[in-house]
């Protein structure tokens, strides 16, 4: 389960840039997540902050549930699906909820509609802002992000509104990693440029001489699920893999055959750099003029993570100067990018329209994963893929703490 993490220094080098995953500042009344050995305390909120919510511990799964009479009939929750979701996922949702699919809504239409629903499911194109969460008027209890990144959801506002945010972090891992490798190879051998030239009637073998991958150093920036899968595949291509991730365990990297290093060492040594970090305030435009200046001349960059981690104007300057030889990009700061974007139109840039998770298998898997996560949250189950800690009444917090072992000690300070 994703959890809020503080910005830490990398344990794998000297002073280094670092990045965080899914940050959110929690209010004093929110419940922290903790882990001590096998203990994992997770929070699910299934009612508005003002509701009275008894806690029961006799069921097989601990829940926070609405206070209702045992004989009272329970109405189906209503779920709004704001972006296209696979039919397999919709079938799962319809087993427990009334589902409305409303694709292509404007922000104003979403604001007008969201108060009618208990849960909202989005992909990356819909912005779940503070205004959207406030428009939920206390009824909206769960936001499901069909995919990994949650930078389009205001986690702080969701926490304050008592709304649980869940994502689908595993189903598209292989698809994203495969797309990263596809862009890596396509860029190295000028496949897209040569294809366009040949279709335009030009036979230019001498112009599109590529570079080999074997023996080259690939720096993976972000060694989570996708980054580690890219590493496995790159090793199979004969590449030397280094990585930067302040949270990745060294033994995990060693098992794959990768070496964890500092941010500065990674970008200085790499022939290819593949980006797999989340977009947070700490990682926004972390690849900028200063970063490019520390790289090898002729470095090549792949991004299948989030467009905002690159300063796109700085990348154009680096490409024009030759500091960066090529870039292969699946994501952009603004999507879709402008038709006259200098970056997209650059001869040495290979682009795809955010296709990282776009395989038949991944789309079906993500749809099922998010439908099950939303369903479990609405039923009151502790969500394994929750990415925030919603606020609950103080009396419920006290009960939950009584149910948990709270003697874990981190750095001499109690986690709680």
Helix (H, G, I), strand (E, B) or coil at 193: helix
306 carries an active-site annotation? yes
Determine the Cα–Cα distance for residues 35 and 195; give it in Å rounded to an integer.
52
Distance CA(215)–CA(235), nearest Å, equals 10
Sign of the Cα torsion 61, 65, 67, 71 reads: negative
| Residue 411 φ/ψ region, left for φ over 0, alpha for ψ in the -120 to 50 degree band, beta for the rest | left
| Bridge partner residues of 317 (DSSP) | none
Cα 73 to the chain's mean position, in Å? Answer: 38
The candidate with the shortest Cα–Cα distance to 172, out of 332, 21, 356, is 356
Choosing from 62, 123, 179, 354, the catalytic residue is 354
Residue with tokens 């294809």: 195
Alpha helices in 172-224 (DSSP H): 173-188, 191-199
Catalytic residue among 17, 42, 306, 397: 306
Residue holding tokens 């930067």? Answer: 244
* Residue 249, token pair as written in the block: 């365990």
| Residues 319 and 295 sit within 8 Å (Cβ to Cβ) | no
Cβ(43)–Cβ(277) below 8 Å: no
**Chain CA centroid to CA 251, Å:** 23
Q: Are 341 and 319 in contact (CB under 8 A)?
A: no
Yes or no: say if 225 and 367 are a contact pair by the CB < 8 Å rule: no
For the four alpha carbons of 76, 77, 82 and 88, in that order, the dihedral sign comes to negative
HEC profile of 82-98? CCCCCHHHHHHHHCCCE
Q: Would you call 12 a catalytic residue per the annotation?
A: no
Copy the structure tokens of residue 394: 């103080």
Can you say whether the dihedral through the CA atoms of 120, 123, 125, 127 is positive or negative?
positive
In DSSP terms, which residues pair with 34 in a beta bridge? 41
Which residues are identified as catalytic? 306, 335, 354
């Amino acid at each position: 389960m994703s959890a809020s993490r503080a910005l830490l220094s990398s344990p794998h080098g000297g002073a280094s840039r670092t990045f965080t995953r899914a940050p959110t500042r929690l209010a004093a009344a929110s419940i922290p997540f903790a882990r001590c050995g096998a203990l994992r305390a997770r929070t699910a909120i299934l009612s508005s902050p003002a509701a009275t919510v008894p806690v029961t511990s006799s069921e097989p799964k601990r829940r926070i549930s609405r206070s209702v009479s045992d004989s009272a009939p329970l109405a189906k929750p209503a779920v709004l699906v704001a972006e296209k979701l696979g039919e397999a996922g919709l079938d799962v949702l319809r087993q427990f909820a009334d589902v409305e699919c409303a694709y292509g809504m404007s922000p104003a239409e979403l604001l007008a509609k969201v108060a009618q629903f208990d849960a909202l499911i989005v992909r990356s194109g819909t912005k779940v802002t503070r205004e959207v969460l406030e428009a939920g008027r206390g009824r909206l209890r769960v936001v499901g992000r069909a995919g990994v990144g949650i930078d389009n959801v205001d986690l702080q506002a969701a926490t304050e509104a008592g709304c649980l945010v869940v994502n689908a972090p595993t189903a598209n891992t292989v698809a994203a990693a495969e797309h990263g490798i596809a862009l890596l190879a396509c860029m190295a051998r000028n496949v897209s440029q040569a294809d366009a030239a040949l279709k335009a009637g030009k036979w230019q073998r001498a112009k599109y001489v590529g570079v080999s991958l074997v023996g080259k150093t690939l720096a993976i920036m972000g060694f989570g699920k996708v980054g580690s899968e890219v590493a496995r595949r790159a090793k199979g291509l004969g590449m030397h893999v280094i990585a930067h991730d302040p949270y990745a365990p060294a033994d995990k990297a060693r098992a794959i055959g990768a070496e964890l290093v500092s941010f500065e060492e990674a970008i200085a040594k790499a022939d290819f750099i593949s980006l797999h970090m989340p977009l947070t305030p700490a990682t926004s435009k972390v690849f900028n003029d200063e970063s490019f200046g520390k790289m090898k001349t002729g470095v090549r960059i792949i991004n299948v993570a989030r467009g905002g981690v690159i300063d796109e104007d700085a990348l154009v300057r680096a490409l024009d100067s030759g500091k960066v030889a090529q870039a292969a990009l699946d994501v952009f700061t603004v999507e879709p990018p402008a038709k006259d974007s200098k970056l997209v139109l650059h001869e040495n840039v290979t682009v795809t329209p955010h296709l990282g998770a776009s395989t038949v298998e991944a789309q079906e898997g993500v749809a099922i994963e998010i439908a099950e996560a939303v369903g479990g949250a609405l039923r009151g189950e502790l969500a394994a893929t929750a990415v925030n800690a919603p606020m609950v009444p103080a009396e419920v917090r006290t009960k939950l703490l009584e149910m948990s072992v709270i003697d874990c000690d981190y750095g001499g300070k109690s986690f709680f």
